[in-house]
A = this chain, B = another copy of it.
Amino acid sequence: MANIKEIARVAGVSITTVSRVLNNHPYVSKEKRAAVLHTIEQLNYTRNMNAVHLITGRTKAIAVILPYIHFFYFSVIVEGLAREALLAQYRLILCQTDYRPEEELKVLDMLRNKEIDGVIIVSTALQPEVIEEYTAYGPIVTCQDSGERRFSSVYIEHYSAFRHGLEYLAAKGYHNIGYCEGRKHGSSSSIRQSAYRDFLAETELPFLEEWMIFDCITEEDGAAVLHRLLNMTKRPDAIIISGDHVAAGLIIEAQKHNLRIPADLAIIGFDNQPIGRLLGITTIDNQLFEMGACAFRIIHDQINGDGGPPVHLKLEYSIIERLTV
């Protein structure tokens, strides 16, 4: 493969001119441009983009940190990100880390090593203090509310969204409220747990430890929740579930066991998923697609603008009333 020096020699121009032609720089005469392009064709030259990145200091690539891709929550955020990335002609480097801190740090090291122009963190096992250290190397945007940090964020307020859902259930006359959650120790998950405990304590509604059910990740976990409920001595009359697909699993299993929704058990879900629309699940819409799209637009502005202070964008959630409450 010919290199840039050889092209300059054959075309009879300077290396600078070749470089300008390759980068579509305006200040090159028609004749010289034609000579360079002709030579390139002759020599079948291919640019080594690593050299281009080295020279320009830009890669037009952004890394995305997330634990896994095949869950609705993550895949819809990435869909929002990817649509904007395509419009802006940026590459997304998918860094699926399974919540392993050492893997997430490696991704942040890519920013330090100039392999990428920025990092979008959809969900992470790292503490905000650790992430802040890397803001020296380039823009970082999280899709979680981490407080007013030195990196940007786009988020919904999980505490208030979750409380809103609980208030909605209580206002409808349900006073024995259970709770289904994904992983126990996530940052958003911890916030929702606080919202649940705080609300029950303040309103003096009954609280039973067994009414908090964790590790509800899939539809089938939702179906398993039904059986746990059926085996309880005292059963909740309503349940808030952080994921419509888990709620769907519970509802489908409930039909098989003639448990009526909402008469025997009211349900409010999260995420406004298509399966929830079909089953008429009352849900909290947390604007996942929009969250991904906004995260990209923020990081794109920071890469291509003057940097500026971090942006903290709060998106509004809404309760969508359907048939399960």
Question: Which A residues lie at the B interface, using CB under 8 A?
Answer: 46-54, 59, 61, 63-64, 68-70, 72, 75-76, 78-79, 82-83, 85-86, 91-98, 103, 110, 112-115, 137, 218-220, 223, 245, 248-249, 252-253, 274-275, 277-279
Contacts and interface: CB of A to CB of B under 8 A. Distances in A.
Contacts of A275: 219, 245, 248, 275
A68 B82 contact: yes
Given A86-B98, A249-B274, 16 more contacts: A46-B113, A46-B137, A49-B115, A50-B51, A64-B94, A68-B82, A69-B69, A69-B78, A70-B76, A70-B78, A92-B95, A93-B93, A93-B94, A220-B277, A245-B275, A248-B275
Number of this chain's copies in the assembly equals 2
Nearest to A100: B86
A267 to B, nearest CB: 15
A86 B75 contact: no
A113 B48 contact: yes
Q: Which of A50, A76, A245, A279 neighbours the largest number of chain B CB atoms within 10 Å of its CB?
A: A50
The winner among A53, A114, A278 for most chain B CB atoms within 10 A is: A278
